[in-house]
Structure 1
Amino acid sequence: MGLQKSQQTDAYSLILDAIDLGVYRPGDRLVESELAERFGVSRTPIREALQRLETQSLLARDGRSLIVASLDHNQMAELYVVRRELEGLAARLAAQHATPEEVRILREMVEADNALINDPVALARANRRFHKQIHLASHNRYLVQQLDLVHRTMALMATTSLAAQGRGEIAQAEHDTIVRTIENKDAEGAGAALREHISVAFMTRLKQDAARREEET
């Protein structure tokens, strides 16, 4: 039973990571046999992982096939509203509860990530690590669980807002402000700084979508 449970978890994580990394993008069809071969996992845990992902609305039905879901404008707006408030709460709690070691790690992340400003893909991965570290520094397991769900859903967006011209540098400056408020144990300032950071990211994504629609017409 333990091995079966482990295989189910591994299959779920493998598919989720592949979506998060853009191996499978919104609209791509996921075939049970192909996934089993790719990941070296039997078809039963793959099937159960797909069912779980469908329940979480990360996959959608297209006839008899399962495809990676996509977010329409309203879904994206709703997601960013929730993300803004939860991320702000995480930063506020981190300012109150983070250990000196956790704060030092955040500072080191910002300094290291400055070297990635011109590499949107690498910066996007670093950005996820940075936000995850803030979530953990909140020391609230229920908040971390909810933010994990939000960030899994973020993977359904085909592009990163960090790909917009100049956004990487601005985002890094915002990260620096967030860490500085956490270092100063300024809970309200940290919450406000992170909420503003998410708001700017949302506006950037809206501009990206508008530009894409214009190119398609």
Structure 2
Amino acid sequence: MGDQIAHRLRVEIIRGIIPPDTHLAEDHLAARFDVSRGPVRDALRQLETEGLAEDRRKRLYARAMDLRDVEELYTVREALESLAIRLAIENASAKDWDNVQRIVDSMAAAAEDDDGERFADADMAFHTSFYANSGNRRLLDAWRPYQRIFAILFELSDTSDIASATEDHQGFLDVVRTGDVEASVRRLRLHLTLAKGHVRDVLRGLAHT
């Protein structure tokens, strides 16, 4: 329940539905979600860890995501995902990569159906597969807190041309499957640079709505 509440609040804070500096009162949120204060407390702890809530004299307030946050998030993600790709190329089997290909195939199916939500889910699964295939459990655990935020950013910023985005992910996977580590990391950097640009545009748009 705490995870579900955290997701709802995370979406609303990032989208600006909950304005910056809003007091995130446990009793008010418990009444809103019709739960005890325990799950709300767990949710708020997650948001504080993620930088979407801040403590001011024992009271938590919503904190907007700004362009500096985007830079920091993508810098950390590039470091984590570059390592994940390096380890995955070293450790993953052909069967593991076949499973990633199936994810890309599901992206293509979502594109045919013009299903942006299903595409965003597959997009997240694609990137998480590098961490899963790295063979390093702690690296996967390190990605998990960021995964929750990026899942929302994916939904907000994924291009409307999901057919082209699917082709981009297919090309990305094709490079990774060659086993060329440096080319794969370069492809990741380009991929994240473009994605970061989309997120910046979305956040600027939200700030003016």
Q: TM-score range by the shorter chain?
A: 0.7 to 0.9
Map residues 102-117 of structure 1 onto 2, 5 A cutoff. 102-117=96-111
CA contact (8 A) 1:171 1:197 kept: no
Aligned counterpart, 2:178: 184
Which of 135, 144, 149 is 2:145 aligned to? 149
SS of structure 1 residue aligned to 2:143: helix
Contact 1:85 1:195 in 2 (8 A): no
Give deviations 1:149-184, integer Å, cap 9, x for gaps: 32233356596221x343x23332221122223322
**1:190-201 alignment runs, 5 A limit:** 190-201=184-195
Q: Structure 1 residues 25 and 53 mapped into 2: Cα distance closer, same or farther (>3 Å)? A: closer
From 67, 72, 76, the equivalent of 1:82 is: 76
Q: For 2:199 and 2:47, how far apart are their aligned partners in 1? A: 25
1:70 aligns with 2:46: no
Partner of residue 57, structure 1: 51
Deviation for aligned residue 1:104: 1.0
Q: CA deviation at 1:110?
A: 0.3
Q: Structure 2: which amino acid aligns with 1:91?
A: I
Q: Secondary structure of the residue that 1:185 maps to in structure 2?
A: coil
Contact 2:106–2:122 (Cα < 8 Å) also in 1: no
Ranges in structure 2 where 5+ consecutive residues have no aligned partner: none
TM-score, with length taken from structure 1: 0.74
Does residue 132 of the first structure (1) align with residue 128 of the second (2)?
yes
Gaps of 5+ in 1: 1-9
| 1:94/1:178 CA distance change after superposition, 3 Å | farther
Asked which structure has the greater RCO (Cα within 8 Å, sep 6+), the reply is: 1
Paired residue for 1:18?
Answer: 8
Q: In structure 2, the residue corresponding to 1:136 is in which secondary structure? A: helix
Query: What's the TM-score once normalised by structure 2's chain length?
Result: 0.76
Instruction: Answer whether contact 1:25 1:156 (CA < 8 A) is retained.
Output: no
Identity of aligned residues (%): 28
Q: Classify the secondary structure of the residue corresponding to 1:71.
A: coil
